[in-house]
Amino acid sequence: MKKKILKKKVKKTAKIINFISKSKKINRIQTEDMEQTRMDALAKEMVDNYYGATKKSFLDSALCLYYLLYRVIQKMMVHTSFPVYQNYHKFACEQNLENYKKWLNKSNERDGGAIHNKVVEAKVGNENDTIH
C-alpha cells in the first residue's frame, strides 16, 4: 500500500505597511498635485493615441475627435452632477480659447500674420459660390 503523505498547509502572513495612505496624510497637498499631474499625463497620452488612430481611419479626423469629445462629455454628465459638469465644461472651453488666442498671437508675431491672413482670405469670398 502506498502511504499518503499529508502536508500541513501553513499560511504565511506578512505585515503590510500602508505607506501610501501615510504619505498622503503627511503630504496631502503634494500628493494631490502629483495625482493631478499623473492624471493629466494619462489624459494627454490617451488623446495622442486616439489622434494616432484617427490618422489611420478613412473618416475625417474632426469627426473622429468629435466622437471622442461626445463620449467624454456623455460619461462626465452621467457620473457627475450637472452643475459640476457645467462648471468644468465652461472652464475647459475658456482655457482652450485663451490658449488658442495665445497661440495665434505667437504665430502672428513669428510669421508676420500669415495665419491670420489665411483665415481672413478664407472668410472673404463670394457667398453664392457653392460646390455641386
**Per-residue pLDDT tens listing for the chain (132 residues):** 555 666 666 666 666 655 555 555 565 556 777 888 888 999 899 999 999 999 998 999 899 999 999 999 899 888 988 899 999 989 999 998 998 888 888 877 776 655 555 555 555 555 566 665
Tell me, yes or no, whether 54 and 38 share the same domain.
yes
User: What letter represents residue 125's amino acid?
Assistant: G
Tell me, yes or no, whether 34 and 74 share the same domain.
yes
Contact 50, 68 (CB under 8 A): yes
* Counted domains in the chain: 2
Burial (Cβ within 10 Å: 0-12, 13-18, ≥19) of residue 65: middle
pTM over 0.75, yes/no? no
Whether residue 68 lies inside any domain: the answer is: yes
Q: For helices 19-26 and 28-56, what crossing angle results, to 10°?
A: 110
Tell me, yes or no, whether 37 and 69 share the same domain.
yes
For the chain, where are the E strands, in sequence order? none
